[in-house]
Each structure stands twice: as structure tokens, then as C-alpha cells.
Amino acid sequence: MPGFIQSRKFALILATSLAVTLTAALYLSSTKPKQTIILPNITKIQVEIADTGLKRSKGLMHRKTLPQNQGMLFIFDDSAKHIFWMKNTLIPLDMVWLDENLRVVDISHNIPPCVTPSCQTYMPANPAKYVLEINGGLSERNNLKTGDQITRQQN
């Protein structure tokens, strides 16, 4: 019987280890850039896709850096005035609000990080289906403005 118990313990440890490894691999693969967003002046932004409730709620939380010309594209099922906050976000960001045709409907510039329990919320002036989060100041450096057309390219 002791050999059987040790075999079960080994199998349980192995299964747990595999589950942790698989979960980590899925997380890492889901956070890699999946698409390219092209701003009107031909600047390319490699974006991670946040298209589920879990991915959207986590966003760019806890990241100490965001490589230049990378970001996150939040995709919603419907156009609305989706509310965002910077809870546990450690880097300043620009939020570019896009309609269903990827036209800029609003921009929130240089939103500061927030690591306190209470964080300010941000909402576009007009309904948006997508939100592009990029490094703070990038939209101004690229002269991005309301009405500009963004292009989405599959990698």
C-alpha cells in the first residue's frame, strides 16, 4: 500500500505541476501582441487583445514598463461609454477611444498611474467599441486627434 500512496502523490504533484505550467503558458501566450494598429501617420503599434471580461478587467495592471509602440486593444461587444480606471496601473497611459469603424471619438491624454485604493475613472465623450491603451504622450507625439481613422491589421 505505501507504494500505491506514493504513486498517487507523485501523480498528483505531476498533474498539479502540469496544470501550473499550462496556465502560465496560456497566460504568456495571451499577453503577447496579436495585432498591429496603424495610426494615421503610419506609426505601427503592436497590441495585445483584451476581448474577454477577465482580460479587460486586468488590462495593463502591475506592469512596470510598456515597450514603445506597444499597447493593448480593448474590444467590447457593443458601443457605449465604457468606464475605465487605472487601478494598479504603474505607467502613464493614453486611452484612445474608437468607434465601431475604428475612428477616434475621444482621447484621454497622459493618465497618471494609480496604486491607491481609490482611483479616478475615465469615460469617453462619445460611445466607443474599442479602447487603445498606449504609452502616455504617444498620441500627442503622433498628432492623433478626434476623427482620425485607425487601421487594424492581423499579424
pLDDT tens-digit readout, 52-110: 999 999 999 999 999 999 999 999 999 999 999 999 999 999 999 999 999 999 999 99
Q: Give the pLDDT of residue 9.
A: 54
Band of residue 145 on the pLDDT scale cut at 50, 70, 90? very high
The half-sphere exposure of 96 on its side-chain side, counting CA atoms within 13 A, is 29
| pLDDT reported for residue 25 | 37
Residues 94-130 as b or e (16 or more Cβ within 10 Å = b):
bbbbbbeebebbbbbeebeeeeeeebeebebeebbbb
Of the ranges 11-25, 31-45, 128-142, which is most confident? 128-142
The pLDDT value recorded for residue 92 is 97
User: CA-CA distance, 130 to 94, in Å (whole number)?
Assistant: 13
**Which residue(s) pair with 72 in the sheet?**
48, 133
Any idea what DSSP says for residue 87?
Answer: B
Of 1.10.8.50, 3.30.70.890, 3.40.50.1100, 2.60.120.1140, which CATH number belongs to 33-154?
2.60.120.1140
Confidence bin at 2 (pLDDT 50/70/90): low
Domain boundaries, the chain: 1-30, 33-154
Under the banding of pLDDT at 50, 70 and 90, the label for residue 117 is confident
pLDDT of residue 76: 97
pLDDT of residue 154: 76
The rounded distance, in Å, linking the Cα atoms of 30 and 14 is: 24
pLDDT for 40 equals 87
- What rounded mean pLDDT belongs to the chain? 84
What is the C-alpha to C-alpha distance for residues 46 and 70, in angstroms, rounded to an integer?
5
